Amino acid sequence: MKILIVDTYYDRYLETFYKKNHNLKKYEYDFQLKALLDSNFGTSDTYSYYLNKNNWEASDIIVNCLYLQNAWVKNKDFKTSKFIPNIPHKFSKLPIIGRKLVNMNGLLDIAKEQIKAYKPEILYCQDLSFFPEEILLEIKKVNNIRLLVGQIACPLPPKSFLNPYDLILTSFPHFVNRLRNDGKNCDYFKIGFDQRILSKTRQHNRDIDFSFVGGISKYHNYASKNIEYLIKNANLQVYGYGANKLPFNSNIRKKHKGERWGLEMYDILSRSKISFNRHINVAENNANNMRLFEATGMGSLLLTDKKDNLRELFEEDREIVTYRSKEEALDKYIYLINKPEELAKIAKAGQLRTLRDHTYENRIRELIQILKNHL
């Protein structure tokens, strides 16, 4: 089965990556794509790697990366405006002007040409906000796509962006019924941990007692108070993005230790005795984020906000530890950091559970069955 994985990367990450690798934009498309995938941002090539191991034919495209996409266009009989590709694709959601932007040669058109060249039977979109409805309908028709799949674990885009999909997969259990009630085919599909990361990172002494790695944004605002409190009372080490948008008097902004992406993020997790986790607002009462599996997969003890479905993923107080309030999180941190043997035992049990039940090698086998059921 031939499948194309369509992804977008955070604009801030792309900016940082190309600034650090300033000559990369001069190289050919395949070289740039490999460099981006090897940086292990997000799920990188995880889906395509394990699909290929299962005898599927899978490839990746990163459709919002300007330098990468312009490299693909080079030497092809396909012209784009020098101006239009620089307009963020999210502007296509704007009323009136959005539709005009969609019709101009830019990143959307490059993505359309890539899909046409690849000829996939299944198109798997990791960002449901990239393609407007009319573009996806055109792509399905022109390329005879057998199954158009979207995966989401963030706030839903406008409904029109969802209409063309034959199947929507989500790691939010509560999204499943909501989308089904809205007439969409939707299945529950959990995210996981790519065990290949363990061979790509160094083994460290755990020299960071307590860390948080992640985003600070309007989508996480209820949890920011917890992080502020733990910085003040537990010397929580904070890494990630978004701190620069906080007020100048914010503890997070004052104590923030910088952005960490990809392998650098995993490096922090491998150095951390305890990893603090909180969920995005739209997760509501369900646990689903990547840090659940990344932290445990790297052998750090996970201290995470208590959610209704956590017992389906981990055994509380044996494989992970949960909290209901910032005060409880502090109490449990103080207890655990003073009980190093118990801390290490829970962390090890959590890692074993993730490596047994929550790897992407397992998840992709589940995904293949889901896709076959909908073909």
User: If you write DSSP's letter for every residue of 226-282 in order, what string do you get?
Assistant: HHHHHHHHH--EEEEE-GGGS-TT-HHHHH------HHHHHHHHHHEEEEEE---GG
CA distance 337 to 35: 38
pLDDT of residue 101: 54
Containing 2, the helix (H) or strand (E) segment is strand 2-7
- Which amino acid, residue 303? L
Q: Taking a C-beta distance cutoff of 8 angstroms, is the pair 251, 261 a contact?
A: no
pLDDT of residue 281: 84
Query: Which residues in the chain land under pLDDT 50?
Result: 83-86, 89, 102-104
pLDDT of residue 248: 78
Q: Which residues of 76-107 are buried (b: 16+ CB within 10 A; e: fewer)?
A: eeeebeeeebeeebeebeeeeeeeebbeeebb
pLDDT over 70 for what percent of the chain?
Answer: 91
pLDDT of residue 92: 52
> Tokens 């995005």 map to which residue?
280
pLDDT of residue 83: 47
CA distance 70 to 84: 12
Residues 6+ apart with CB under 8 A from 18: 24, 25, 67
> Tokens 């460290």 map to which residue?
204
| Other Cβ atoms within 10 Å of 169 Cβ, number | 23
Residues 6+ apart with CB under 8 A from 245: 216, 217
All domains of the chain, ordered by start, with CATH? Answer: 2-192+360-374 (3.40.50), 197-357 (3.40.50.2000)
Comparing CA positions, the residue from 143, 155, 153 lying closest to residue 111 is: 143
Q: For the chain, what is the total number of helices (H) and then of strands (E)? A: 17, 11
pLDDT tens for 18-38 read 999 999 999 999 999 999 999
CA distance 78 to 85: 13
pLDDT of residue 210: 98
